[in-house]
Amino acid sequence: MHAPRLQLSGITKAYPGVVANSEVSLTVLPGQIHAVLGENGAGKSTLMKIIYGSVKPDAGQIAFNGQITHIRNPNEARALGISMVFQHFNLFDTITVAENVWLGLDKSISLQEVTDGIQEKAARYGLDIDPARPVHTLGVGEMQRVEIIRALLTNPQLLILDEPTSVLTPQAVEKLFVVLRQLAAEGCSILYISHKLHEIRALCTACTVLRGGKVTGVCNPAKETNASLSRLMIGSEPPNLVHNPRTPGEVRLLVRRLSLPREEQFGVDLDSIDLQVRAGEVVGIAGVSGNGQKELLYALSGEDCRAPEGSISMGTHDVSALHPGARRKLGLHFVPEERLGRGAVPTLSLAQNLLLTRNEAIAAPGFLGGWLKLHALEAQARRIIERFGVKANGPGAAARSLSGGNLQKYIVGREIDAQPSLFIVSQPTWGVDVGAAAQIRAAILALRDAGCAVLVVSEEIEELFEVCDRLHVIAHGKLSPSVAAAQTTLEKVGEWMSGLWSAT
């Protein structure tokens, strides 16, 4: 009998106002793919950070390969053979992929050796990435590949994956699963966090469930159903989405022959994009990360104002050259794929983050542009927290203090609460638990039913089929014709993601 690869006993960690982990015990065997399941804020990420040495527990014991150990920092974790892929990426924007990977490795290895290793792992595991690209030019899905490759290069004995497939396509997920099963067969243990219950059932051989920071169950997920796992995790099954038939109204967003050269060396040129979104419909855009989604969303939000005159219209208004604030005044509200940095300022409170996209909390102009209505900000933030079930220590909580899923709920809720006439959202349920995902999708459909025009960009095809009336696919900076979601298949959309729609 081999000693467990990892054994946690009585792990406890508390923060002001919240107990993240309470006497958690967990055993992972060699070669086991072990899921950790729980709703947003259940304490999963904190527990993983404790194992990886980036958070110190208040109490409890960690044993690795049968030896009690005190992991004081990630360097010590890596020396033991523990690697982790974080949900929020730990990458420096201004340096290249290879340089980012090199930072976490033994400095006796040259940068060229690291570059060669990245190319070998990318080719072996189907995780395409260019080692010379600066990280700030990558999409979220591409950043995820960098993190996974960086972890694999350490040849870990224990690999921790926090939402590794949240922005990967179904084809990329299947490739990743082949990699993980191969690693497990070679003796590597894997701790796998995901809110995608079908993935856990297909991949994992054991599962520990957390609720409110405590272990509430241990099971073999292969013998469970999505419904039973959901009950273990959130105490109930998520409600079914109701997709009411509706006749779309007037065109709220019209994009005509939009072509834009890339602004960055590794960006994507937009090529003759035609798109329209009408009141009372949800239009989806599928695609592999890095195929022009970022460039298109910058053009639609107003962060890139280089669009030719007449190429982007909102109703009767040509908005091609308008900045984001001017577009918001016309009814556009936008949720970017990057939560921290673009969707929210990490160090500001939830109430203060409302100022990013809301103007009604600013009084009449005065000294330095006007006074802030602090009570109004706090009241609005509290309303969003309550409406969308955000787990946070009140409106004054810093954005960075929230779990990834709870921050996503707050950002999406903030923009929906503004009652937009045109709503554009990228990766709406990235890293969000099944209950919260159902809530966000239901809110999107409620916006649609209230007459809002909604554009959803997502790398989760199943999500697009759940909420969309029509679908496009973006590939190599080109947009496919639209197709009714009810008249196509997941396999057909997957084919189009390679740019093959012209042949069909």
Note the pLDDT tens digit of each residue in 99-128. Answer: 999 987 777 889 999 999 999 988 877 777
* pLDDT over 90 (residue 148): no
- Residue 381 amino acid letter: A
Q: Measured between alpha carbons, how far is 455 from 501 in angstroms, rounded to an integer?
A: 21
HEC secondary structure over 384-404: HHHHCCCCCCCCCCEHHHCCH
Note the pLDDT tens digit of each residue in 8-66. Answer: 999 999 988 789 999 999 999 999 999 999 888 889 989 999 999 999 999 999 999 99
Residues 344-378 as b or e (16 or more Cβ within 10 Å = b) = bbeeebbbbbbeebbeebbeeeeeeeeeeeeebbb
The H-or-E segment that residue 325 falls in is helix 324-329
Phi then psi dihedrals of residue 283, to 5 deg: -110, 135
Phi then psi dihedrals of residue 443, to 5 deg: -65, -35
Instruction: Give the residue, 382 or 86, on which the prediction is more confident.
Output: 382
* pLDDT over 80 (residue 196): yes
* pLDDT over 90 (residue 364): no
Compute CA distances 229 → 199, 224, 434, 480, whole Å: 12, 6, 10, 37
Residues 11-25 as b or e (16 or more Cβ within 10 Å = b) = bbbeeeebbbbbebe
Q: Which two tokens stand for residue 132?
A: 């010379």
The model's confidence at residue 361, banded by pLDDT at 50, 70 and 90, is low
Q: Measured between alpha carbons, how far is 201 from 224 in angstroms, rounded to an integer?
A: 7
* pTM recorded for the entire structure: 0.72
Q: Which two tokens stand for residue 117?
A: 């290793």
321 by DSSP, 3-state: which? coil
Q: Looking at mean pLDDT, say which of 340-349, 400-409, 433-442 comes out highest.
A: 340-349
Residue whose C-alpha is closest to residue 166's, from 450, 501, 435, 432: 432
Helices and strands in the chain, H and E counts? 16, 21
112 by DSSP, 3-state: which? helix
* Ordered structural domains, the chain, with CATH: 6-234 (3.40.50.300), 238-331+423-504 (3.40.50.300)
Residue whose C-alpha is closest to residue 3's, from 216, 155, 158, 151: 158
Mean per-residue pLDDT over the chain, rounded: 89
Residue 426 contacts residue 293 (beta carbons within 8 Å): yes
Residue 82 contacts residue 160 (beta carbons within 8 Å): yes
Note the pLDDT tens digit of each residue in 280-301. Answer: 999 999 988 789 999 999 999 9
Q: For the chain, give percent helix, strand, coil, nearest 5.
A: 35, 25, 40
The model's confidence at residue 249, banded by pLDDT at 50, 70 and 90, is very high
User: Cβ neighbours of residue 116 under 8 Å, at least 6 residues apart?
Assistant: none
* pLDDT over 50 (residue 367): no
* pLDDT over 60 (residue 504): no
pLDDT of 13 reads 96
Phi then psi dihedrals of residue 415, to 5 deg: -80, -35
Q: Give the mean model confidence (pLDDT) for residues 372-396.
A: 89
Q: Measured between alpha carbons, how far is 484 from 471 in angstroms, rounded to an integer?
A: 6
